[in-house]
């Protein structure tokens, strides 16, 4: 599976959009981009995933560049409850595929 690079940490103002970048320059054509988050002491929570088209759900939007070498997770209106570590993971679709977690981005939403 391709490796990802994320900033170690970032701050965001409550009520503003939070834009979380992720680089995955070695991504292959059949690898999907997944985003998870982990709020302190809890199990990771699935947010969104995509292959090449932009995706949106009730939690967030995922923007994938045309060359697929990077992506951005957008939390449209960050709240204090969005403070968490956010993981960007690329993974091939295959039987028994396994999530591999890197260091993630520690996001602190401030009032």
Partner 1 sequence: NAGVTQTPKFRILKIGQSMTLQCTQDMNHNYMYWYRQDPGMGLKLIYYSVGAGITDKGEVPNGYNVSRSTTEDFPLRLELAAPSQTSVYFCASREQGLEGYTFGSGTRLTVV
The residue ranges that bind partner 1 (CB under 8 A) are: 32, 34, 36, 41-47, 49, 87, 93, 95-96, 98-104
Q: Report the residue number, 54 or 101, with the smaller CB distance to partner 1.
A: 101
Q: Report the residue number, 14 or 106, with the smaller CB distance to partner 1.
A: 106
DSSP assignment string, 8-68:
SEEEEETTS-EEEEEE-TT--TTEEEEEEEE-TTSPPEEEEEESSS-EE-SS-EEEE-TTS
Least separation in angstroms between residue 33's CB and partner 1 is: 11
- For residue 89, which phi and psi values (nearest 5 degrees)? -135, 135
Cα within 13 Å of Cα(44), Cβ side: 18
Least separation in angstroms between residue 28's CB and partner 1 is: 16
Q: Report the residue number, 81 or 93, with the smaller CB distance to partner 1.
A: 93
Q: Report the residue number, 13 or 99, with the smaller CB distance to partner 1.
A: 99
Least separation in angstroms between residue 103's CB and partner 1 is: 6
Closest C-alpha among 35, 52, 18 to residue 90? 35
Least separation in angstroms between residue 13's CB and partner 1 is: 26
Beta bridge partners of 47: none
């Amino acid at each position: 599976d391709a490796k990802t690079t994320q900033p170690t940490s970032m701050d965001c103002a409550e009520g503003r959009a939070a834009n979380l970048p992720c680089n995955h320059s070695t991504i292959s054509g059949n690898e999907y981009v997944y985003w998870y988050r982990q709020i302190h002491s809890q199990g990771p929570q699935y947010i969104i995933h995509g292959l090449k088209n932009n995706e949106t759900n009730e939690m967030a939007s995922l923007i994938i560049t045309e060359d697929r070498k990077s992506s951005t997770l957008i939390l449209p209106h960050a709240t204090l409850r969005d403070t968490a570590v956010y993981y960007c993971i690329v993974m091939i679709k295959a039987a028994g595929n396994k999530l591999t977690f890197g260091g993630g981005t520690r996001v602190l939403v401030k009032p």
